[in-house]
Structure 1
């Protein structure tokens, strides 16, 4: 049996080692070619490097990089931009030292000479002694991706700048976790110190004014349920107790399985806008009231004139109840009243349009005030009012328009008389205060409420409409006083202890040659 086996072994064909080796080499080359083709298919370039990367053995670029069929020692300078070479060299040295995969995103010089971006990966091939023989790598063209990232980064930076410039708060509500992420501005708008995120919805809702809280809550809930828009204005109470107006906007920005999972939005301060809107509304209302007052003020003298003319036409001036001389006096008075109304309107209009020009000249304010007092005394002392004045004994010289200055004094004295009851008191004082002349007109009349002091000089604002109507006039006098004083380089101040406590108006005007010693003369 053993002989039979031996005979069979001797008669069997023998294997040819050289042929076996050639077949193995052929199979290996085929495998390498298939592997190379595979790499070429999944990447934009395939390359081979020697052990220390000093020489590029081959490069197939597929129009991404200039193909290199022969070994090249100059590949580094050819393909890597100068400013990127240190970074790439450091990554190569690290991969060689650790015998690990080389992987790096870096800029590269493309086949057409322009600069692009690549993601390069290479693996080391080791021999039986674990020494690197060569590197096989692939490079992918990521130029478009990098350009898109750079564009996105620029857009994000511009967005951040715009948000910061607009002082806009941003928020992101993760609905499933019920957590809200705020930017720094959100904390600032609510007057809160910066706190670790995330916040809770209640942290925001607790700052909303109680009268607005339910409405905002309902709108947020509706926007989530209907995947609509949240857009509303509301008031907040900051941590320091101040009230501000905010505008909020938000919408669903992410869904999971068709259900809202994230809501994002912004909030910004609109207090100034709301105040401007309120001022516009108040201004419109004041104009309406002013027009009604103007109609009333014009109707009375016009009615008097019309009735007087009719009586004269019927009686030829022979009516004993209204003789011609009395009729003419009455008509002259009403015409003067109309002229005064029209003059005030024209003065306000000219000032608002910047068309008023003062006729400045050197004048003695002491003398001018004395003359204005004598002209206004009959009006002020009507109704048994007592009028007392104190003037300097020396001249106070200034550059001024005598007509406008006289008008200012007349308007303040008329105002004091109008709002001081019979048997009341009016005081006028002129004195030098530093380099200015100070004219004070004080009364013990009806006074001014504290909340009206800041508005008293505003056009169309009436502190006590019923009193003004009963006394006549459009209430433009104080507006003109303030504007004429400012045109002279001066200012007007008002003070009052409240309703029923009288009031004091002070006009400050710059002097031309201030006196160091001034005496006063009082007379009543």
Structure 2
């Protein structure tokens, strides 16, 4: 073999004499092949041998670039070249065969790892002793990275050309002026609009400075200073300037910015200028209109303020009139009911003063006076409930169980003509409210429903359920339990519906209602943190729905059975020797309170205010309990007195009483004192004082 890189004995030519006389031709050939193999081993390119007609690849060393071939292969073209590229490779081979010159071609090739790459393939014919080509010897260089770089460069150049055309299109067609100055202050670019404004061609304008293009001296000098400023600071410069050009005298707004080159230095100064003549004129017109509008608004605002003030005064006068009317109605209702009660009391006093009054008559008079006092107590309770100032005793309880327990009471109260039905939600949340007050509210609503359905009668439906409400003017957002009372009555017109919560407002006849029922219900529910909704239409009945807060704790268990009653003799013996200090600024109330306590077996002392009570306690250590009013004149009221006594006299039993229970409602268990509401009965006073003594004994 003349030029093989893996020679075998069959390929070697016969030895011939060495013309130089230094050895045989075979030795020279062997040395030449050795040098060739050394050169091939040192090469980083793939090396291959092809048959004379290129149909067969005899050998290939791929250098990890192309897969090696150790034995002759006729399918080499399909193995190394994609079908799409094979025609190009064949054409180059045919040209090399015709010319018997060097084969050279850049083409894609399938690399050793199966990926696609690029190669520069070069091969030369190797002739035998007769000059005939006995094979082709070639190299394949890996030019994949170069081709990728060339492709990336071509794409970058194409993108740059696209961007150039885009910017040129924008700058050529924009109504704004666009331009670039060189560092020598001469224009190196100006768009079409600027050339038109100058009235010059590209060749006439480019390479000139502002002064040479006809700018006034002051204008050219201003731009020269600005160009120098941009170059020095590398910061934009903005401004407005008038210019008298081909478009006439116009006002222009401009911005100049530095053009930074690859070296990081300023290479030029670019600028854009916009014609703002019409915009500034419009702004001035708008400013004048705004000023005129502001004057009109100020004048109208002043007029509106006067109108609002006049309306406020009129509304205030109307509210004052309505308030006086409501107060008059409220006062009249209270006066009417209390006068009836006072008449019973006054008549009883007169009868008791008669010497000839018999024992039975005396007992009847006392019973009537007691009923009158109880009526007065109920009336004040309704008024306080309406005003939301009656002390509540809320607890968690099962509303369904409470309603079920009221069934017999409702049937006896409403009579046989009213059919009572319930729709109670299973799994109802526990409710947080005063159970006694809620029962009273439901009885009140049931009685109103009964009156609306008589004389024909009808159905009363009580429904319970759970509701999650959003915040509004009546209640906070959260979970609520509701109970609704629906009747089949005659319903209410809008005029009546708007006044149902007014105290002493009633549509019933004389002596058939006080007008405090719904007002009391409304006050109780709002004080409990809920709301009341009424839906009623004439001829369609009425639905009253009470929303009450959901209790976070489970419903309270039923109270345990009461302990056996204590005998009167035992109670008197237990109380003997105990002294109670009565503190009240009202002498009559204090006198009767002391009398009741003495009747219970207690010794009593009296003080007219908190200061006097403290003085007595300091001087008399024999006092065992203090029974004090809450609302008293002076620097210390009953609540403050209780706190002082709990601190300085912790052994004393404390009992507070007040007819204005909002004070007690706002103070949860003041100073650990027992609380008693006025008016109270003898048994209530005895029980409260017993609890007060029990509290200090623990």
TM-score by length of 2: 0.31
Higher relative contact order, structure no. (Cα contacts within 8 Å, ≥ 6 residues apart): 1
TM-score by length of 1: 0.39
